[in-house]
């Protein structure tokens, strides 16, 4: 025999209402039927849940321990039901996919605003590049995401947010000249960029290829949070979204290189499942838009 929701519901109602008779009436069962469910539950768990003293019952120590488990399981079932009946991810678990730029600057503010409106909301956050997040989308594992240069797909709705400006950065102590630098000028230095299939890798290599040169010493790192201190310490020249480095440039912690031609920016979109375009999801999309503007994340 396996534990069932029907057994847990019967147990929870008896505890809350105080008697088998009241629970049976509430659920719409006969008293023998609800007694059978409790007997099955006790047999499965190998524990006595109630002690009967005439018409009165009391919950055993094992029954008291079970109450918390039953409440959590029944609450999860209710959240699951609400989530799929309403098609609203804000009724349960909101699954977010984010670029690292958005996550570093805007995610805490997004979560704080969502929590103020939906105190019981749970979130699952995946931070990655467009290729990895798109795969999660196609596997139906994300509700909404911020993506750079996503491919057009019928399953995903895309709404433009702006352009992510990309620049090369070095330590202030670097001996790289202050004037305009071409790809040929930069290709001899130690560079760090994300590995393929990241869009940033494609953009960097296209910039060099158009000039007919190739980087001579190219290191790769898939984490922006790790790339930044690598650049600040003077170990390499990094291609990084401009907004992420703006405060550090102002504080003279890092220097932005002047390159020609300028780097191509990435068009950024907020994307979501076409099958789940609910009012709740639109609320998340609007919050993301507001944060992009508020933090001047994109141009």
Domains and their CATH numbers in the chain: 5-86 (1.10.10.10), 89-163+267-294 (3.40.190.10), 166-256 (3.40.190.10)
Two structure tokens written together for 213: 């040169």
Per-residue pLDDT of the chain in tens (299 residues, 90 and over written 9): 689 999 999 999 999 998 898 999 999 999 999 999 999 999 999 999 999 877 678 999 999 999 999 998 988 888 777 666 666 666 678 899 999 999 999 999 999 999 888 887 889 999 998 889 988 988 888 989 999 988 877 778 889 999 999 999 999 999 998 889 999 999 999 999 999 989 999 999 999 999 999 999 999 999 999 999 999 999 999 999 999 999 999 999 999 999 999 999 999 999 987 776 677 788 889 999 999 999 999 99
* Pairing of β 93-98 and β 217-220: unpaired
Handedness of CA 142, 144, 149, 150 (dihedral sign): positive
Contacts of 79 (CB under 8 A, 6+ apart): 91, 92, 93
The reported pTM is 0.70
SS3 194: coil
Q: Taking each helix axis as running N to C, give the angle between helix 224-232 and helix 242-250, from 0 to 180 degrees, rounded to the nearest 10.
A: 30
Handedness of CA 243, 244, 248, 253 (dihedral sign): negative
CA distances from 160 to 78, 106, 199, 262 (A): 35, 17, 17, 22
């Amino acid at each position: 025999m396996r534990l069932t929701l029907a057994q847990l519901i019967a147990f929870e109602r008896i505890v809350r209402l105080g008697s088998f008779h009241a629970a049976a009436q509430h659920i719409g069962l006969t008293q023998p039927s609800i007694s059978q469910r409790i007997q099955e539950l006790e047999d499965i768990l190998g524990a006595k849940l109630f002690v009967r003293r005439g018409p009165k019952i009391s919950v055993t120590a094992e029954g008291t321990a079970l109450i918390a488990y039953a409440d959590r399981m029944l609450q999860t079932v209710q959240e699951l039901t609400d989530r799929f009946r309403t098609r609203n991810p804000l009724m349960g678990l909101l699954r977010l996919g984010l670029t690292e730029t958005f996550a570093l600057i805007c995610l805490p503010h997004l979560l704080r605003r969502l929590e103020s409106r939906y105190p019981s909301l749970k979130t699952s956050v995946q931070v990655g590049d467009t290729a990895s997040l798109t795969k999660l989308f196609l596997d139906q594992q994300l509700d909404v995401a911020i993506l750079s240069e996503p491919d057009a797909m019928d399953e995903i709705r895309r709404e433009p947010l702006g352009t992510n400006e990309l620049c090369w950065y070095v330590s202030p102590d670097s001996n790289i000249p202050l004037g305009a630098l071409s790809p040929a000028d930069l290709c001899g230095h130690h560079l760090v960029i994300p590995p393929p299939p990241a869009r940033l890798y494609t953009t960097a290599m296209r910039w060099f290829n158009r000039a007919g040169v190739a980087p001579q010493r190219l290191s790769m790192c898939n984490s922006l949070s790790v790339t930044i201190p690598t650049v600040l310490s003077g170990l390499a020249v990094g291609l990084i979204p401009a907004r992420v480095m703006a405060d550090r440039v102002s504080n003279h912690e890092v220097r932005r290189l002047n390159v020609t031609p300028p780097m191509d920016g990435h068009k950024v979109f907020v994307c979501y499942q076409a099958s789940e375009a609910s009012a709740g999801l639109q609320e998340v999309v609007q919050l993301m838009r507001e944060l992009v503007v508020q933090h001047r994340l994109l141009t």
